[in-house]
Amino acid sequence: MTILTLNNVSLAYGHMPLLAQVDFQISSGERVCLVGRNGTGKSTLFRVISEAAQPDDGEIWRKDTLRISHLEQEVPVDTPNTIYEVVAAGLGELGQLLTEYHSAVQHVAEPDSVSLHRVSTLQHRIDALDAWNIRQKVETALSRLSLPADKRMADCSGGVQRQVMLAQALVSNPDLLLLDEPTNHMDITAITWLEEFLLTFRGALMFVTHDRTLLEHLATRIVELDRGKLTSFPGDYQYYLRKKDELLEAEAKANAKRDKKLAQEEIWIRQGIKARRTRNEGRVRALQAMRKARRLRMETQGRANLAVDRGDISGKLVVDMRQVGFSYGDHCIIRDLSTRIMRGDRVGLIGPNGSGKTTLLNLILGETKPDDGEIVMGTRLRVGYFDQQRTQLMPAKTVRENISEVGDYVTVRGRSRHIIGYLRDFLFSHERIDSPVKSLSGGERNRLLLAKMFTRPTNMMVLDEPTNDLDVDTLELLEDLLVDYDGTLVLVSHDRTFLDNVVTSTLVFRGDGLVEEYVGGYAEWVRHRKPYVAKRTVIKEKADSATKRDRNRNKRSIQRQKLSYKEERELAAIPERIEGLEHEQQGLERQVSRREFYQQDKATITATLARLNQIREELEHAYRRWGYLEGTD
């Protein structure tokens, strides 16, 4: 069933048309990925759909009572509210009630009649609205994204703030969910959870992402915004790539044919007196129309031209880490790490946000000294560093000044190049190079930092989250460059496809200072892990969490007894039962993720989704039972 339709919608900022007579519709249950180059208007389209911006022309039809949640690419300005308050705000007036209750409970240090009366009153109001399940959604969103409920939003990093806004968008259970680059600054654990959640999300989903793994797993349809026009490609990402190449080839042939015809007509119109005497007025009007069409034609945006000067060859040994340890106070970041990085190695760093990946880069760069052990660097190293915070850029200065403060020429790969031509390789127009850096988008700043780094010869590149904000085309070009780079590479990224295509080994942060080394990229690391041990750990953690909730809910300690023979057999059988349920759950989620799932009859769709919900309930019960039995003396 169609829930939203756009008819002949147009919107322009100045002379730049972002939407040109766009037609689009989305149905319930669809998962649509919106693709396009940076600056083409994807975020603007989302703002039009969510009514945050009004089109210049055209009509937008929305289903009655349609609920839309929108996660924007940029997080809002700092707010004094806590994380719980921001997330609950996604529920409107009901969220305000839950916030008041949460605050009242938190501030009851010593019960008194006034505070207890306040809590009791709020409890009755929540009971009357049957809102306890809604409150559980807020707490679940906070828990799964590991967000501290009572921390002030203003005290959080940009990455955490983004996850908070994601939780706010998810908690209201919208009919249409708009996600603009939801994985930016999220670690692999959070991205995997988000992917699994969205696979079972019942509403319609429209998202923008540079994460190709997420795109391939989620999208049932791909829609491209290119030069103000929307083109729909039913199917997966690989189908889109094939059809896009075919369309661009057909467009190039058609343009070449029209240009050839225009050239012939220009020769004809410029002929002498004899031609003008026999001039056909209809032919003249046709020529004028062709001239106008050629002026109005919007060419495809060029592709970035990335190249790096490798410089002199480094020594064979690049980095030798010997029993390295590092801590922040009592918090151990790295414990007894010994590894060697040799010339030509491509090492990827994987781990949750805050686990110590950037700290390890700083240790390698010599900006931080280890508490224990030593780090020996190789000889003849020329290091290029990409900082995820982009502190190497000067926001108040122009794009041109950030590349060269003196003169209009830079030396790249041994030859002199004019700044305008060099920056054009990184998709900066002539007008854009005199704009201050603070006015650039995130993707433009990343391209500028890459351009700045590539002006210097390097035989070792240290890249900290270089893929954030880049469009897929530029991301793939960077990927190709790094694959061909014959220097040494140390890379931090949460982009699973990027890691698989670029790195040859990984250092994985497992927590409590433990760093393990694996051969291959992300997929190889997943295959190398011991699945049963990992599964048992996750199950035990969930079981412990469920048991703790039960204890809090009952507000009394439970006297544990010896296990009976029947309970011992039940305990032994639970792991196999949980494994079977999770296997069935994964199979059903794969069915739901296929684009043809929602084309089936309603009864089949309903039965499948109902079984998914039932499995989740059975798993929760199994986790709780596991925790109870294992906690028995």
In DSSP terms, 224 is beta-bridged to: 35, 231
Q: List the Cα angle 439/469/459 in 5-degree steps.
A: 100
* Highest mean pLDDT pick, 223-227, 313-317, 340-344: 340-344
Residues 423, 558 share a domain? no
What pLDDT sits at residue 551? 47
From the number of C-beta atoms within 10 Å of its C-beta (0-12, 13-18, 19+), residue 419 rates as: buried
349 neighbors 509 (Cβ within 8 angstroms): yes
Mean pLDDT value of segment 528-536: 52
Domain end point (choices 527, 546, 566):
527
Residues 591, 567 share a domain? yes
Residues 518, 535 share a domain? no
CA 265 to CA 271: how far, in whole Å?
10
131 neighbors 56 (Cβ within 8 angstroms): no
In-domain check, residue 321: yes
What pLDDT sits at residue 45? 92
- What is the side-by-side order of every strand in the sheet holding 331-342? 331-342, 317-328, 372-377
Residues 471, 539 share a domain? no
Residues 585, 564 share a domain? yes
476 neighbors 299 (Cβ within 8 angstroms): no
Give the model confidence (pLDDT) of 11-46 as tens digits.
987 666 788 888 999 999 899 999 887 777 888 899
Other Cβ atoms within 10 Å of 89 Cβ, number:
17
Domain end point (choices 527, 550, 573):
527
In-domain check, residue 589: yes
**Residue 527 φ then ψ, to 5°:** -70, -30
Residues 567, 425 share a domain? no
Mean pLDDT value of segment 566-570: 78
Which one has a higher pLDDT value, 349 or 113? 349
> Is the model's pLDDT at 89 over the cut of 50?
yes
Give the model confidence (pLDDT) of 138-197 as tens digits.
887 787 777 888 888 877 766 678 788 888 888 878 899 999 888 887 888 888 888 888
Query: Residue-wise over 301-330: b if at least 16 C-beta within 10 A, else e?
Result: beebebebbbbeebeeebbebeebebbeee
Residues 546, 427 share a domain? no
3-state class (DSSP) for residue 154? helix
In-domain check, residue 183: no
Domain that holds residue 370: 317-527
In-domain check, residue 44: no
Residues 479, 419 share a domain? yes
Tokens of 59: 């009509």
> Is the model's pLDDT at 274 over the cut of 90?
no
Residues 479, 597 share a domain? no
CA 56 to CA 74: how far, in whole Å?
24
From the number of C-beta atoms within 10 Å of its C-beta (0-12, 13-18, 19+), residue 65 rates as: exposed
In-domain check, residue 308: no
Q: Is the pTM of this model over 0.85?
A: no
* Highest mean pLDDT pick, 301-305, 385-389, 600-604: 385-389
233 neighbors 244 (Cβ within 8 angstroms): yes
Tokens of 193: 């959870």
206 neighbors 176 (Cβ within 8 angstroms): yes
Kindly provide the residue ranges of all beta strands, DSSP E only, lying in 451-610, ordered along the sequence: 460-464, 488-492, 505-511, 514-519
Mean pLDDT lowest for which of 99-113, 164-178, 356-370, 607-621? 99-113
CA 575 to CA 583: how far, in whole Å?
12
> Is the model's pLDDT at 90 over the cut of 50?
yes
**Structurally, how many domains does the chain consist of?**
4
pLDDT band of 410, cuts 50, 70, 90: confident
> Is the model's pLDDT at 429 over the cut of 90?
no
Domain end point (choices 153, 173, 193):
173
Residue found by looking up tokens 């009514």 in the block:
51
303: DSSP letter = P
Residues 385, 465 share a domain? yes
Percentage of the chain exceeding pLDDT 70: 79
In-domain check, residue 195: no
What pLDDT sits at residue 598? 57
138 neighbors 98 (Cβ within 8 angstroms): yes
Residues 499, 575 share a domain? no
End-to-end CA distance of the chain: 55
CA 377 to CA 316: how far, in whole Å?
11
CATH of the domain at 550: 1.10.287.380
In-domain check, residue 401: yes
From the number of C-beta atoms within 10 Å of its C-beta (0-12, 13-18, 19+), residue 400 rates as: middle
Residues 262, 369 share a domain? no
CATH of the domain at 401: 3.40.50.300
DSSP conformation letters of 195-221: HHHHHT--SEEEEE-S-HHHHHHH-SE
What pLDDT sits at residue 26? 93
